[in-house]
Structure 1
C-alpha cells in the first residue's frame, strides 16, 4: 500500500545525533509514513544506528551508498520514495511529535503543492534558540513565495516543507553541492508549485546549528565553490523560463547575499571583483539596500569594490566588532 508521506533522511557521520532524529520520526502521531534513510558513506557508527532502528520498524527503508554529498543523497531518497508527499529531514535535526500530522492535514485541506511550517533554530553550544521567519500570508503562488525567500522574508530551508512527490518529475540535482543545495532545490520546487500554503502557530521542527554542521563548520575551497555556484545554478534554471526578465531583482538579491556570505566567512579571495558586481546590482535595484544582510555588509563591499586594501582593512574592523566571526 502506498504511504501518504515519505520522510527522507540523508545521513553522513551524525551518529551522535541520529538516534534523536530517528526517534522523533518513528514516534510521530501520523503513522502512514515511509522513512527512507540514506547512508551517504558514513564512517562513524551511523550505519549501526540505522540498522538497529530498521530492525525495529518495518517502515524504514535503508539505502547505503558511497559519499556523493547532500544533493545526491536526497536524490537517492527521492528515487526510492513511494509516498504521495515528500518531507526532507537532516540526520542531526528532529521533529515535534505531531509535526507530520499537522503539516499533512494542512496540505490536504488546501491541496497545496508545498506546505511551509515554522521551525526553531537551536544552537546547542550556547543554549540559545530563535524562531524561524513567519511569512505574512497563508497562501502564495510558487513565484510569489520564491520572491519572499529571495528578499529574506522567508527561508530556503527544505526541511520546513512538505511537498508533493510529483514535483520531482521536473527537478534536477547538482552532484556534490552541499552549501546552497537548499537554494537550488527550493528554487525548482517553488517554481513548479501552483499553490503554496503556510502554517501559522507553533514550530514543528528543530534545526540544529553546531560548529560541525555543514552551514557552520570550518570554511573551505569547496564551500566557497558552492556559494559561488548556487546563484549561477538559480540563474541558469530561470534563463529559459518566460518569467526570467521579471525576476532580475530577485536573482540580483540572491547573488549579493551569496557574495556577502563569503565575506561573513572571512573568504576574501576575489572580493574586489565580487564586490563590484554587488554594487552594479545595487545601482540597478537600489531598494535592495533595505535587505538586512545586504545592509549589514554594504559598507564593507563598497570599500572592497573601490580598493582591495581599504576593504581588507575594514574587514579587520568587522572581525574586531564580531560582525564577521
Structure 2
C-alpha cells in the first residue's frame, strides 16, 4: 500500500466547520496519509474554504485528492466514492463538521500494527458550544464480543472513532448503503463480523460536534424513518447470514433503533414505537449492555404505561438543555 492511512471526508453544507476540521487533519503527526475530500455537490462555500486551508500545507499537496459529485448523493454514497479510490492500508472516516486531535491517526495506526488488528477504536468527545463530554468506550478482546456490544447499545458503531483495515472492505465487498443515510454507520458492524483481531485505545481523539442542544427532541422526518428502518433491516439480514446465533442481539438493535421515539414525548412517536419491531419487545429486560433506566422506560412502553414515558421524556429534555 502506498499510504498507511486513507482519510475519507464527505463535504456538504459545512462552511462553518470545514476550516478547523481540515486544519486538524493536515496537522496529523502521521506523515504517510492520503486525504480524500468528496464534494457531494455542496451548495455553499465549503469547498472554497477547504481550498484556502489546503494551500497552507504544501507538504501535503501530493497526498490530497478532491472528488466532485455532480449531484448530491448523500453521506453513504460519498463515503463509497472515497473508498473506491483509497490507497491506504487502513481507512479512517472523518465527518467534515467535526475535528480530531493531532496524534489520532499515528496512535491508532501504531496500535493496529502492534496488535495486527483489523479494527482499532478509541474514546471520543461529545462537543457542545460551551462544553464537551468525554465518551468512554468499552474494551473487548475479540471482534465478536465488540459486535454484540454494538448491537446491544453498549458500544458506539459510529464510523469516526475507528480505524479499519482496507482489505476488509475489499475482500468482503463491503460498502455503505447509498441512498439511506440514517443509521448508515451500522455498516461498521458488518466489518466487525468479518474482523479477526481488534484493539482498543483508551483515549479520546475525535470531537463529535453537536451544537443543536434540542436535537434529541427533534422528530425524524418520514424519510429519516424510512432510511433508518431500511438500514436496520439490511444490517440484520446481513449479520444473521454470517452468524446465526445473533438473533437475540439483533432484537436488541431493533429496540435501540426505536428507543429515541420514547424520548420525543408525543403520541405519534409513541405509536411508532409500538408499531416498530414488536417481536423484539420480549427481549427488553435481557439487554444488560444498556442502563436499567432505559430498560425500565422500554418496559413501561411495552406495558402501555405511556403516561410515565411522557413524564420522563419531559424531564429528559429539560435536563439535556440545562447540561448542554
Distance in 2 between the 1:213 and 1:84 partners?
39
Determine helix, strand or coil for the equivalent of 1:203: strand
Q: 1:276 to 1:8 in 2, by over 3 A?
A: closer
Q: Which residue in 2 is equivalent to 1:52?
A: 52
Q: Which residue in 2 is equivalent to 1:307?
A: none
Is 2:322 aligned against 1:321? no
Determine helix, strand or coil for the equivalent of 2:36: strand
1:165 shift after superposition? 0.7
Q: Which runs of 5+ in 1 are unaligned?
A: 305-309
Distance in 2 between the 1:320 and 1:17 partners?
31
Distance in 2 between the 1:151 and 1:275 partners?
19
Query: Which shows bigger deviation, 114-123 or 275-284?
Result: 275-284
Q: Which residue in 2 is equivalent to 1:129?
A: 132
Q: Which residue in 2 is equivalent to 1:235?
A: 236
Determine helix, strand or coil for the equivalent of 1:174: coil
Distance in 2 between the 1:41 and 1:266 partners?
36
Q: 1:216 to 1:143 in 2, by over 3 A?
A: farther
Q: Which residue in 2 is equivalent to 1:109?
A: 114
Q: Which residue in 2 is equivalent to 1:96?
A: 101
Q: 1:159 to 1:303 in 2, by over 3 A?
A: same
Q: Count residues with an aligned counterpart.
A: 311
The answer to whether the 8 Å contact 1:8/1:77 transfers is yes
Pick aligned residue for 2:177 from 165, 174, 179: 174
Distance in 1 between the 2:165 and 2:153 partners?
24
Q: Which residue in 1 is equivalent to 2:5?
A: 5
Q: 1:114 to 1:136 in 2, by over 3 A?
A: closer
Q: Which residue in 2 is equivalent to 1:32?
A: 32
Pick aligned residue for 2:67 from 60, 63, 71: 63
Distance in 1 between the 2:213 and 2:224 partners?
14
Give the alignment's Cα RMSD to 1 decimal.
2.7
TM-score by length of 1: 0.86
Q: Which runs of 5+ in 2 are unaligned?
A: none
The answer to whether the 8 Å contact 1:117/1:199 transfers is yes
Q: Which residue in 1 is equivalent to 2:200?
A: 198
TM-score by length of 2: 0.86
Query: Which shows bigger deviation, 291-300 or 189-198?
Result: 291-300
Determine helix, strand or coil for the equivalent of 1:13: coil
1:113 shift after superposition? 0.3
1:247 shift after superposition? 0.4
Alignment of 1:116-265 (within 5 A): 116-124=121-129, 127-137=130-140, 139-140=141-142, 142-169=143-170, 170=172, 171-183=174-186, 185-200=187-202, 202-211=203-212, 219-241=220-242, 243-244=243-244, 246-265=245-264
1:204-238 deviation line (CA, Å, top 9, x unaligned): 11111122999886631122222222221111112
The answer to whether the 8 Å contact 1:259/1:275 transfers is no
Distance in 2 between the 1:222 and 1:67 partners?
16
